[in-house]
Amino acid sequence: MKKKNYLYIFSLLTLLFVGFHFIVWNLITKPIFKNDVGDLGRMSYLSKSFTSKKNEQNLKNKHTQYNDNEEIDVLTIGDSFSNGGGGGVNKYYQDYIATIQNLKVMNIQSNPEGFIETILILNDNGILDKLSPKSIILQSVERGAIQRYAKNVNWSVGLKNNSMSFLNEKSGHTKPTPLFINHLNFNWLLYKLLYKYDDNAIFSKAYTATLTKSLFSSKDKDKLLFYMGDLKNLSKSNDKSINLLNRNLNKLQKILSAKDIKLYFMPSVDKYNLYSKYIQNNQYPKSTFFETLRPLKKEYAFIDTKMILEEMLDNNIIDVYYSDDTHWSFKASEEIFNQVELKYTK
């Protein structure tokens, strides 16, 4: 009799377990991971911050990916911001350069050695001569800039690296496609409870904050979602690291000047940093990355995305960044390259 009771209890618990996963996956979790929800939306499950993004490219001119048979005006190298990571309308900022400034723009993937090293490899292997760009844009999200640029660069890396395979690699990420029984369903239930008591639900990589004004078009118009890495990497941006970053970029510009190429450095301001001045009772430290870098002497050109985009927020422009994503929207891309004219100076 006891065995039958145990079997009954086990069967009931199994049915409840499978039923929970089946219902939550099909009604809640699956739509989040199958639809075009932003990365912060997938981390937090906070549906009121979800933004409807229509993937559409309607600009007159488009950039190209690597092709060594054409000469170009602008070469771009960067992270997900340079590879359309945010999605939505006109997800590539390069297309705004191509259209607004009528320039031929090409994007390439970086070599695993690093972003600066990628340019050195292209230079020493004759690729820059084939492409003949007048300008190069090095882009990096703010939270990754110190790691990528404030380091001891191997300036001779191009001389020993003959592998060009990275040039033909395609960017992109695949969203998880798990079975309906998975930890994501438990996360939904856990975060639903814990976000009421903690800014990142204790375990989530997405933080929430309330803004002093509405800056998004989602249901939670005054709710900010931002990535934990925006806070985690703040301490890396100090006088020493930013001075090293600046020296490395100045040295790279001197190398490129021999080929009459202008270097542009475009750090993409972290979402937390950009919106932090509008966070109610902000308990977190402020970023000083841009403020420290601005006054330093530069041989290269600095695209100050914080200054440009902060002015948009000051003017109450909504959706400069997507509410559910770490990436900026087409509004930011358009404004940046309406203001920044790429020049060719010998």
Q: Candidates 3.30.200, 3.30.2010, 3.40.50, 3.10.50; correct CATH number of 64-173+235-268+286-314+330-339?
A: 3.40.50
pLDDT of residue 34: 73
Between β-strands 206-210 and 223-227, what pairing exists: parallel, antiparallel or unpaired? antiparallel
Higher model confidence: residue 178 or residue 151? 151
Rounded distance between C-alpha atoms, residue 95 and residue 80, angstroms? 15
Please compute the mean of the pLDDT values over residues 317-325 and round it to a whole number: 97
Rounded distance between C-alpha atoms, residue 109 and residue 35, angstroms? 26
pLDDT of residue 17: 67
> Quick one: which of 107, 100, 131 has its CA closest to 341?
100
Q: What is the pLDDT of residues 185-228, one digit of tens each?
A: 778 888 889 999 999 999 999 999 999 999 999 999 999 999 99
Residue with tokens 């100090």: 238
Q: What is the pLDDT of residues 223-253, one digit of tens each?
A: 999 999 999 999 999 999 999 999 999 999 9
pLDDT at 345 exceeding the cut of 80: no
User: What is the per-residue DSSP string for 196-235?
Assistant: TTSTTTTT-SEEEEEBSS---SSSSTTEEEEEHHHHHTGG
